[in-house]
């Protein structure tokens, strides 16, 4: 199969579109982040890559706490807005009509309307160049009660939003199921 080189760049799919929350000067602020992912299971940790000038990063450094909010496809407008304006100039919470709540860390603001919220304490901050990789220990997880089937969070009810990155540059939901995990591979075993 022929391959085309497209330069060294962080190109992977899918990319999430999370809302990262932090208190900046005691006021809740949220920014959109696609460069984020699970970092460890025990203890549970998540990473997010924030560019140096982000107002949100200022709040993360101030309190050493932050939140990762998983929005649903219904929140595309708010997700995009939080990714194109800075909290240094506007109150994004007011514009987006976010209902903000706090958990046990008390300084990591979370968005009630997002189906999943991870409340995190900063464990590491790595200055990697253009971005600071913030690695947070997940201290608590909140899931909207209407997003469960039985005892488990149900991704079909959560309906997470993804970002397709450039050049298509759109928000999308999950596609159709392809195969059963930890099962379809057995056909090759």
Kindly list the residues in this chain that would bind ligand FMN in the complex (CB under 6 A): 17, 29, 31-35, 49-51, 54-56, 80, 83-88, 163
In the chain, DSSP finds a helix count (H) and a strand count (E) of 4, 14
CB of 94 to ligand FMN, least distance (A): 13
Residue placing its CB nearer to ligand FMN in the complex, 29 or 117 = 29
Least spacing, CB of residue 123 vs ligand FMN, in Å: 19
CB 20, min distance to ligand FMN, A: 8
Indicate the residue among 53 and 176 with the shorter CB distance to ligand FMN: 53
CA distance 21 to 113: 13
Closest to ligand FMN by CB, 13 vs 182, is 13
Q: Give the shortest CB-92-to-ligand FMN separation in angstroms.
A: 7
Residue 65 exposure: Cα atoms within 13 Å on the Cβ side: 18
| Residue 173 structure tokens | 């939901």
Give the residue from 61, 64, 68 showing the smallest Cα distance to 17: 68
Side-chain half-sphere exposure of 143, counting CA atoms within 13 A: 14
Least Å distance between CB 79 and ligand FMN? 7
Dist. CA 159–CA 143, nearest whole Å: 13
Residue number, 27 or 154, with CB nearest to ligand FMN: 27
φ/ψ region of 74 (left if φ > 0, alpha if ψ in -120 to 50, else beta) reads alpha
Closer residue to ligand FMN (CB): 166 or 186: 166
Residue number closest to ligand FMN, CB atom: 83
């Amino acid at each position: 199969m022929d391959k085309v080189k497209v330069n060294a760049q962080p190109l992977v799919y899918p990319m999430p579109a999370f809302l990262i929350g932090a208190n900046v000067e005691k006021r809740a602020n949220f920014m959109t982040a696609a460069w984020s992912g699970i970092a460890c299971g025990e203890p549970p940790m998540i990473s997010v890559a924030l560019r140096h000038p982000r107002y949100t990063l200022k709040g993360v450094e101030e309190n050493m706490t932050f939140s990762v909010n998983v929005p649903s496809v219904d929140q595309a407008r708010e997700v995009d807005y939080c990714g194109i304006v800075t909290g240094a100039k506007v109150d994004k919470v007011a514009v987006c009509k976010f209902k903000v709540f706090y958990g046990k860390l008390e300084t990591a603001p979370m968005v009630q309307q997002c189906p999943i919220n991870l409340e995190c304490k900063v464990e590491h901050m790595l200055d990697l160049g253009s971005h600071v990789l913030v690695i947070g220990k997940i201290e608590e997880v909140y899931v909207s009660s209407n997003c469960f089937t039985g005892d488990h969070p149900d991704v079909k009810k959560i309906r997470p939003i993804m970002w397709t990155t450039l050049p298509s540059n759109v928000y999308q939901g999950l596609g159709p199921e392809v195969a059963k995990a930890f099962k379809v591979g057995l056909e090759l075993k």
